[in-house]
Copies of this chain bind each other. A is one copy, B any other.
Amino acid sequence: MSNIKKSHFAILGLLSWQPQSGYDIKKLVEVGLSHFWNENYGNIYPTLDGLVRDGLAVKEAGNTSGRRTRNVYRITQQGQQLFDDWLAQPADLPIVRNELLLKFFLSGRLPNKASLRIVQNYQVHQQVILEDYRRSAAILGRAIETGTYPQEVMMLLNNDTRPLNTKQKARQCKFVLLTLRHGIMAVEARLAWCQEVMQVLTE
């Protein structure tokens, strides 16, 4: 079995929610998980082939309605096993490469004004992101509370081609919301840092 990387597990894990196509995976990640993950076609399709080759998934040539051929993939027992094993292992701690902090640190050679400009610019960007996250979180929160899943939520879950039952829907909403909370709290911390730094550097 070939050396297995994170994308493999990401895709395998998405198949473990429900069988779907490469296109579905791309859209789901793009729309619902983009605050913590990304995948692109150039990676997805070869990975799906690889999963099939390794017996971790099977291709079910599902030709939904009059559409073009959709290749729907379903996780196998073996794939499920491998995925569950991976899930049980602690996540690797990410290699950190924060360009903003790099710029900030390296600006230390110059007058404070240069560093302040960097931080102010960062602050503006983070504020935009925060509002975006909060909007999404509000939509999801409302859906979970009321048990109704309007168009907006389905957009966030990209649920048009992969039918989910109510329980799955609620569960997926809940987990997307919790990951969004992570994003919100992280952004808030960054904004607090901006405040602190601006205070220190303007003293």
Contact = CB atoms under 8 A, between A and B. Distances in A.
Interface of A: 6, 9-10, 13-14, 16-17, 33-38, 83, 87-88, 90-110, 114-115, 117-118, 121-122, 125, 171-172, 174-176, 178-179, 181-182, 185-186, 188-190, 192-193, 196-197, 200
Q: How many copies does the complex hold?
A: 2
Contacts of A101: 36-37, 179, 182
Contacts of A96: 34-38
A105 B38 contact: no
B178 A104 contact: yes
A97 B178 contact: no
A91 B103 CA distance: 8
A97 B94 contact: yes
Given A91-B103, A104-B175, A186-B189, 5 more contacts: A10-B102, A91-B122, A108-B174, A108-B175, A189-B189
Contact of A94 (B14, B90, B91, B98): B98
A87 B106 contact: yes
Given A96-B38, A99-B94, A16 B182 contact: no
Contact of A93 (B88, B125, B178): B125
A98 to B, nearest CB: 4
Contacts of A114: 87
